[in-house]
Structure 1
Amino acid sequence: MARPAALTSIAGKAVGPVGLGLMGLTRPWAPTEYPVAAKVMKAALDHGANFWNGSLHYGPPHANSLQLLKYYFDNHPEDADKVVLSIKGAYDPRTHTPDGSPEGIRASVGEALKILDGVKTIDIFECARVDPKVPIETSVGALAELVKERKIGGIGLSEVSANTIRRAHAVHPIAAVEVELSLFTTDPLHNGVADTCHELGIPLIAYSPISRGWLTGEFRKPEDIPENDMRRFLPRFQPGAFEQNFKLVEAVERIAKRHGATVAQLAIAWVRRQGAIPIPGSTKVERVVENCQDVPLTEEDLKEIQTLLDALPVAGERYGGQHEKLLNL
C-alpha cells in the first residue's frame, strides 16, 4: 500500500517531489568540472528539484560540495532563495568518526558558512551520523542554539532510529530526516522510521533511491563497475551478492518496460509512493530531467513490486565495516 504523500514544505519553504543529491557531482574518483556540474544543478532547479543535499565530506576538503555550491550561487545568485539547502557535517570521513559534541557541531557549521561566504543560507544542517558518545539531546540542543543565532534554518537527522527521532524532536522540531530508502533498502519502512516521521509530520528524505546505480541497469556484471569506483568495495556489488541482486534489477526492468519508463524512473516513483522525497544524484542534464518525470504506479503495481521484494531478498550489507555500525542509531 502507498503511504501518504511526502510533505512539500521543509524549513518553511516549499520543495518539489524530487530533490538532488550532490555527492555524485563531487566524487573524488570521478569529479565533475564545475561548469558542467552547474548545468546539471540548473536543470534540476528548472524541473522542480529544489531540495539540494550536500556535505562537507562529499569530495576532498578543497573541492567538496560546499565549494561547488559557492561556485553555483556566485554564478546564479538569483537562485539562492529558490533552493532549500541541506548540509551534512560533524563527521570525519578519514576516520569514519562522527562528532556530535556542541564544539564539533559549531565548528562544522562554521566551516560550511565560511566556504559559502554568504552566497546561500543553510536551510537545514544535519550531523551526518549520530555520535554514540554524545546524547542526541545534547547534539540537537547545540543545533537549536545555532537556529536561534540564525546560522542555520533548521535541524535535520541522518541515518537515525525511530527512538532517536522522537528524542530529538522533543528537544527541538526536526525539519527533515534523511535515510537510505530504495527498492534495495526498505529498512525505514519496517523499523518504524517512516511511520514515526509521518506521525510527527517530519519530511522523509530518501538518498540513494536508485541504489547507488543498481536500478539504472548500467551494471549487469561485476566487471561493468569502473576500476576506480568505490562501489567495487561495497558488499552488495561483490561476486556472489552481485548475481543475486541483479535478479531484482531484471524483475524491475520488466515492470518499467511495461510502463514505457526507465528502471530509475520506476525506482524513484516507488520511493515517492512511500511518502518520501527522493534525492537522486546525477552528472548529466538528461538524467536529471529523466529523474524528475513521474511514473504513475497503481496499487496493483505496488503489490507486484512488493511480491518481488519478498521473493528476491537483497544480498549483502549496505556499507559493511565501520560504516555499518553507525546506521540506525
Structure 2
Amino acid sequence: MITICNTPVGSTGYGLLGFTWRPHQTPDEQAFAAMKKAIEKGAICWNSGEFYGTPDPTLGLQLLHRYFKKYPEDASKVILSIKGCVDMSNLRALGSPADVRKSVDNTLRILDGVKKIDIFECARVDPRTPIEETIGALAECVREGKIGGIGLSESGAATIRRAHAVHPIAAVEIEYSLWATEIRTNGVASVCAELNIPIVAYSPLGKGFLTGEIKSPEDLPENDFRRRFSRFQPENFKINIELVNRVEGLAKKKGCTPAQLAMEWVRYQSGRDGMPDLLPIPGATTAGRVEENCQEVGLTEEEYSELEGIIGSNQIVGGRYFEAAESLLFA
C-alpha cells in the first residue's frame, strides 16, 4: 500500500505519465480515451509538468484542463502531481521562493480550478538555492491551500533528508528501470524507505527503449529529443540493445510483452528487501497501451533472479540524458 498526500494507492495503482517527449500533439479524442482507461484500470496517479508538451510549453496542463472541464466527475478520482520551476530556454532549475510561487500560481492559472494540485514538485534541485528555502516556500503554498503536498524530483539522498526535515515529502520522483538502477546504490532508495517516502518511478520502460519496439536510433522520429540522449547514440545503442534482446527472450518465454515484464520487475520490488514503496508511471497515449501497462503478469522469484542476472551481466553505456541535463540528476 502506497500513501501519497494521505491517499492510499493499492498494488494496482499505476501512474499515467504526461506526454513529455512526443513529437506531436495527441488528439484529444485519443488522449481522453487513454485517460479514461487509466482511471478504469486504477492508474489514478497522474504526472505532468508546467513545461510539458510541444509546441506549446503548457500543452500538458492545457490537456488536463480540457479533460477535467469535460469530465469534472473524474477530478476527485485522480491524484495529480505537477512538476515546475524550470527555465526551459536554458534548462535552469528555479528554486527560489519567488520562482516557486510564480510556477505554482502559473500552474493554477492554467488549470483554472478544474482540478486541484495534489502534489507539486520542482523538476530539479536548484544548486543556487538551499533546499530548505525551496521547500519552505512550497510549505507556505500547502498552508495556503494552493497545493496538497510536496514532492521531489531527481534529488539525492542528502537533499531528500534535508527537505523532509522542513516539511513531509509526499513522494520522490526518480527514474528507475532495468537500465537505470542507481537508486539502489546511491542511498536514495534506502533513505526513502527509512522516511517512509514512496518513490514514483518514472520512465520504467527506459523512455520506450525497454518495449523492444525501438530496434535502432533511426526508429525514433527526426524531431524526437531522445535522439540527443547519450544512451540512444549509435555507438551506445548497439551495446545497450543487448539488454533489451535478453528481456525480450524472457518475455517471450513467459508469454507477455517486454514492457509488461519491465513493469513487473519494478512492482515486484515495492516494499521488499529494504526498498521503499514503488509506483511506476509509464507513458501512454492510447487506451490500448494503458491496458497493456496495467496488466499484471506476475513474477516468480526465479524470473526476478533471471532479470537481475541480465542487469548484472549487461553493461549500460551512456548517460540517461545529455551532458547539460546530467549535472542536475541526484542533486
* Common fold: TM-score over 0.5: yes
Return structure 1 stretches of 4+ with deviation > 6 angstroms: none
Q: Which residue of 1 aligns with 2:310?
A: 308
Q: CA contact under 8 A between 1:17 and 1:272: conserved in structure 2?
A: no
Q: Which amino acid aligns with 1:221?
A: S
Tell me which moved more, 151-160 or 57-66.
Answer: 57-66
2-structure distance, mates of 1:42, 1:23: 15
Tell me which moved more, 9-18 or 297-306.
Answer: 9-18
Confirm or deny that 1:34 pairs with 2:39: no
Q: Which residue of 2 aligns with 1:10?
A: 4
Q: CA contact under 8 A between 2:51 and 2:57: conserved in structure 1?
A: no
Deviation at 1:282, TM superposition (A): 1.0
Classify the secondary structure of the residue corresponding to 2:139: helix
Deviation at 1:230, TM superposition (A): 1.4
Classify the secondary structure of the residue corresponding to 2:285: coil
Classify the secondary structure of the residue corresponding to 2:80: strand
Q: Which amino acid aligns with 1:23?
A: F
Q: Which amino acid aligns with 1:30?
A: H
Q: Which residue of 1 aligns with 2:326?
A: 324
Query: Is the alpha carbon distance of 1:56 and 1:63 closer, same or farther for their aligned partners in structure 2, counting shifts above 3 Å?
Result: closer
Q: Which residue of 1 aligns with 2:45?
A: 51
The superposition leaves residues 284-315 of structure 1 with CA deviations (integer Å, 9 ceiling, x where unpaired) of 11010010011211121111111111110111
Confirm or deny that 1:147 pairs with 2:124: no
Classify the secondary structure of the residue corresponding to 2:65: helix
Tell me which moved more, 252-261 or 204-213.
Answer: 252-261
Q: Structure 1 stretches of 5 or more lacking a match?
A: 1-6
Q: Which residue of 1 aligns with 2:203?
A: 208
Deviation at 1:274, TM superposition (A): 2.6
Confirm or deny that 1:83 pairs with 2:78: yes
Deviation at 1:35, TM superposition (A): 2.3
Q: CA contact under 8 A between 2:31 and 2:285: conserved in structure 1?
A: yes
The superposition leaves residues 221-259 of structure 1 with CA deviations (integer Å, 9 ceiling, x where unpaired) of 222222221111111111111111110000001111122
Q: Which amino acid aligns with 1:298?
A: T
Classify the secondary structure of the residue corresponding to 1:126: strand
Q: Structure 2 stretches of 5 or more lacking a match?
A: 271-277
Q: Which residue of 2 aligns with 1:3?
A: none
Classify the secondary structure of the residue corresponding to 1:212: coil
Q: Which amino acid aligns with 1:112?
A: T
Aligned residue pairs, count: 321
Classify the secondary structure of the residue corresponding to 1:240: helix
Q: CA contact under 8 A between 1:54 and 1:65: conserved in structure 2?
A: yes
1-structure distance, mates of 2:186, 2:168: 21
Q: Which residue of 1 aligns with 2:176?
A: 181
Across the aligned residues of Structure 1 and Structure 2, the Cα RMSD in angstroms comes to 1.2
